[in-house]
Amino acid sequence: MSQLKIINASKIYNENTDHEVKALDDVSFEADKGEFIVILGASGAGKSTLLNIIGGMDTLTRGSFIIDNVDISKVNEKELSIFRREKIGFVFQFYNLINNLTALENVQIAESLSNNPLDSIEVLNNVGLGKRLTNTPAELSGGEQQRVAIARAIVKNPTFLLCDEPTGALDSKTGSHIIKLLIDISKKYNKTVIIVTHNSKIAEVASRVIRLQDGKIKSDTINKTPKKPEDITW
Ligand code: ADP
Ligand code: MG
């Protein structure tokens, strides 16, 4: 039984009007626990829409998505909020840290919201920030801020780590370090990681690549010989 099943999922804005947009158009795929998936597509392909739906932050027009046998497209607001809190760790392009809190405090907030969290200091050590616990975001580089954001997402001990253009604001070298960290974290904590990006270089390190175009899946391929993140540059 797959951990995640997306079945005939569509997200249509302004349906049956002149402004109709099919952000997702009959998308179906399944994912197993521990998979490392890159969803690749141009700007406007529907990547953020898909990720936000899996993360319980947006709803489908049609279709369903099922996680651990629960049809999340059918649950009420309260259950959806519990689902987001317990099962989803989200990483954004621009980190979205709280600026007047330290690295440790940013992560501890997420720890305090979860039923089954990991330890904030241990997770910050594991993302390489053990010596930066008391620094605020303004005192950290972009790459370090993204490490804090990854620690904040993983400390909840979520089922999924969902990353929307996680290297989009970083230079190539820092970006490839972040990708390496995401791969290491997914193995260490046995998490299912889904990264959405327009960057085809990042897809080269993934064991599975789903290509999205105009809201549709164009291909879904297994990569038997993924590159090492240190060997990609863009
Ligand atoms: P991506 O992340 O791949 O760049 P998005 O998922 O953000 O793409 O958007 C997919 C399509 O849906 C785009 O054409 C976008 O303009 C459209 N879209 C997204 N949000 C809305 C909205 N609230 N209203 C209307 N159209 C939207
Ligand atoms: Mg997007």
Question: What is the domain partition of the chain in residue ranges?
Answer: 34-62+80-231
Instruction: Please compute the mean of the pLDDT values over residues 50-59 and round it to a whole number.
Output: 96
Read off the pTM.
0.96
> Has residue 56 got a pLDDT over 80?
yes
Nearest alpha carbon, ligand 1 atom 18? 23
Q: E-strand spans in 3-125?
A: 4-13, 21-31, 36-40, 62-67, 70-71, 88-91
Look at residue 107 in the predicted model and tell me its pLDDT.
Answer: 98
**Does the CB atom of residue 41 touch ligand 1 within 6 A?**
yes
Phi and psi for 156 in degrees, rounded to 5? -70, -10
Residue count of the chain, please give it. Answer: 234
Look at residue 127 in the predicted model and tell me its pLDDT.
Answer: 95
222 Cα to the center of ligand 1, angstroms: 27
47 Cα to the center of ligand 2, angstroms: 5
**Which SS3 state, helix, strand or coil, does residue 57 take?**
coil
166 Cα to the center of ligand 1, angstroms: 18
CATH class of 34-62+80-231: alpha beta
Burial class (CB in 10 A: 0-12, 13-18, 19+), 217: buried
Mutating to test ligand 1, I would choose from 21, 54, 59 the residue with most ligand atoms within 8 A of its C-beta, which is 21
What number of CA atoms fall less than 13 Å from residue 113's CA on the CB side?
Answer: 21
Cβ neighbors of 83 (< 8 A, separation 6 or more) are: 56, 67, 72, 75
49 Cα to the center of ligand 1, angstroms: 7
Nearest alpha carbon, ligand 1 atom 5? 46
CA distance readout (Å), 173 to 181, 195, 202, 231: 13, 18, 12, 10
Helix, strand and coil in the chain, % to nearest 5: 35, 25, 40
**Does the CB atom of residue 49 touch ligand 1 within 6 A?**
yes
Nearest alpha carbon, ligand 1 atom 11? 23
Percent of the chain clearing pLDDT 90 (strictly above): 99
> Has residue 1 got a pLDDT over 80?
no
CA of 11, closest atom in ligand 1 = 12
> Has residue 2 got a pLDDT over 90?
no
Q: Element (H or E) spanning 196, and its range?
A: strand 192-197
Q: What is the pLDDT of residues 128-172, one digit of tens each?
A: 999 999 999 999 999 999 999 999 999 999 999 999 999 999 999
Q: Element (H or E) spanning 160, and its range?
A: strand 160-164
CA distance 7 to 66: 8
- Pull the structure tokens for residue 199: 């960057």
